Structure 1
């Protein structure tokens, strides 16, 4: 869901059968639903630099997806009431 903190494990180099993986963590600020082309837009701050990354959910390079914390934006106290959280770009 939008507003959740998630961790994605993806294959970085060498194709689908490679053991070389990357961990991508971030807050979901948007989901684009287009059948097999469904993507998740993640936002994270690494070394003081904000990074946004669009990750396809049905990619064969995706190993696992884990929800770290639900409603991370409001510390789990209430739901996010927006489909896209683009206002977080201006916050930091």
Structure 2
């Protein structure tokens, strides 16, 4: 591991200590709370949609969220460790067999629906063994 990789790993750990990044994969429905500045005011806006792609590249990691707004598909790419993200919530887990869900761009309505993954529980598992 070279010096730059070590620095990025330490910096990412420091950022995760400030704001926890949940484990999510493409197919999951996520709600991203984004800081929006309007003039002098700053507020938090929620952006909820399906994660269709994830790029894992250390500090440069990002993910793409797609939602349907007023009948039109809208995609937004968020940097995972970006300062504009207040928090990320996983609303539901999706069951998919692809890493990139770009095929959802051509699908509408029921065809674009993703099956829910019921095998993964959202509650933390207990650690006591019987």
TM-score of the pair, normalised by structure 1: 0.83
Shift of 1:60: 1.6
What is the CA RMSD across the aligned residues, in angstroms? 1.3
- Give CA-to-partner distance per residue, 1:35-87, whole Å, 9 cap, x none: 1111110100011010000011101221110000101xxxxxxx311000011
Poorly superposed stretches of 4+, deviation over 2 Å: none
User: Map of 1:1-92 to 2, 5 A cutoff?
Assistant: 1-13=25-37, 19-71=42-94, 79-92=95-108
**Structure 1: stretches of 5+ with no match in the other structure:** 72-78
> 1 or 2 for the larger relative contact order (CA 8 Å, sep ≥6)?
1
Give 1 or 2: higher strand fraction.
1
Q: Distance in 2 between matches of 1:19 and 1:55?
A: 18
Structure 2: state its 5+ residue gaps.
1-24, 109-130
SS in 2 for 1:26: strand
What's the TM-score, normalizing by structure 2?
Answer: 0.60
